[in-house]
Structure 1
Amino acid sequence: MDLSLDNNTGRYKIRSYSPGSIIINDATYQDPIIVGLEVLRENQLPMDLGELNKELLEELKITDYEVVILGTGETQQFPSWDLLEQAQIMGTPLEIMATDAACRTFTILASDGRKVLAILYP
């Protein structure tokens, strides 16, 4: 799926997604990745979605963002209730969706200049 909104003013743009692969700018990622308008972090997420935790959310400073999207792979999968509750308590609820929808949503919000962070599992 090609994502071609070029009015994103940030440094990082999700160009396309296919199951197991995300293209950001001109690089392809096949492991979980964190992307924001001005941030790209590799090798900081556990390979298993179920291992996400509050400490990681704090490290990512999710409270600095208007929207935090969690793309869970080919299908929407909900993380633990504890993780969802912790994000809510921190004041920045996680928007949970399949990764294709997460990539589209990130692209639309970024094109509007919104401060958005995506945690993506290909």
Structure 2
Amino acid sequence: MDFGTKLKSIRKLKNLSQSEMADLLFTTQGNYSQYENNNRIPSLDLLKRLIEQFDLDANWLLSGSTEQVVNFNDNSSCNIVSLKTENYHQPFDQFEKLEKKVDNILNIILKDKSNT
């Protein structure tokens, strides 16, 4: 996912217009539109404001990654673009199911041994 797409996704997630987003980042709506369309490279100051304003992970913002690192102790970062918490729970849920199956098998084995 490119920078402009991430920027647009953040704006839409926060229900902001391009003009409102530009105001938050201390730039013009025209410049902001160029950032979203990948026609202009943002300054370091603008990137810093964006990261601080929306509590973003800088590596995520500047890389092609779609995965956002989230601080779950800070609720403001739990609604970040591309965050799908169900994906984080799936492996744990699968592990719990597997653990129950193993416990059941062990119980069956132990019962068989005690009956012999």
Pair in the same fold by TM > 0.5: no
RCO higher in 1 or 2 (8 Å CA, sep ≥ 6)?
1
The structure in which a higher percent of residues are strand is 1
- TM-score, structure 1 normalization: 0.27
The structure in which a higher percent of residues are helix is 2
